[in-house]
Amino acid sequence: MPAPDYILKLREKIGHDPLWVPGVRGVVLDDSGRVLLARRADNGHWALVSGMLDPGEEPARGLVREIFEETAVVAEAERVVSVGTVGPFTYPNGDVCEFLDVVFRCRYVSGTARVNDDESLDVGWFSLDGLPELMPGHLTSIRRALSPEEAAHFEP
C-alpha cells in the first residue's frame, strides 16, 4: 500500500522514527450476511478493507472512501465496532508506524466487488462459515460487528 503524500512529507522530517497514524477498518456486510474481504497486495493476506485517514478526514467518510477505492463497492457506515491500536510495525525500509484503529460495521449499498486499485490482489464476498485465514484481529472485528451489543469495544 503506497504511503499518502502527507506521510511521505512527515518522513522527510522524522526519518524512520515511530509515527502515530489514524486508520480505519470496515466489516462490510451484504443483505445475505456475507462479509467483504480483500487479499492485500503488500503481504498476500486476506483482510477487511482498511486504510489510513487523510488529515482532517472524518473516520466514517474515510472508510467509505477506502472501501470504494479498493473494491468499487459503495457502503454506508452503520456504527463503531471498536477503537484500539495496531502495531507497532517496522516496514522493510525501516519506517515504524503504530495505528489508531477505528473499526466500523458497514452495510453494502451498491456496486460489484472487484479489484479497483493496486492495493489488492483479489476481493470478494465470503459467507461467515467460509472465511479464508484472516490477518490477526480481523476475525475478532467481524465477531464484534455481528454482536447485537451496540456499545463499541475498547481496552480500558
CB 81 within 8 A of CB 105: yes
Indicate whether 150 pLDDT > 80. no
35 — pLDDT class (breaks 50, 70, 90): very high
The pTM (predicted TM-score) of the whole model is: 0.93
Average confidence score pLDDT of the chain: 94
Residue 1 is predicted with a pLDDT of 59
In percent, the amount of the chain with pLDDT more than 90 equals: 85
DSSP state of 152: P
Report d(CA 114, CA 98) in Å as an integer.
29
Residue among 31, 39, 101, 107 nearest 76 (CA)? 107
CB 98 within 8 A of CB 89: yes
Start-to-end CA span in the chain (Å): 31
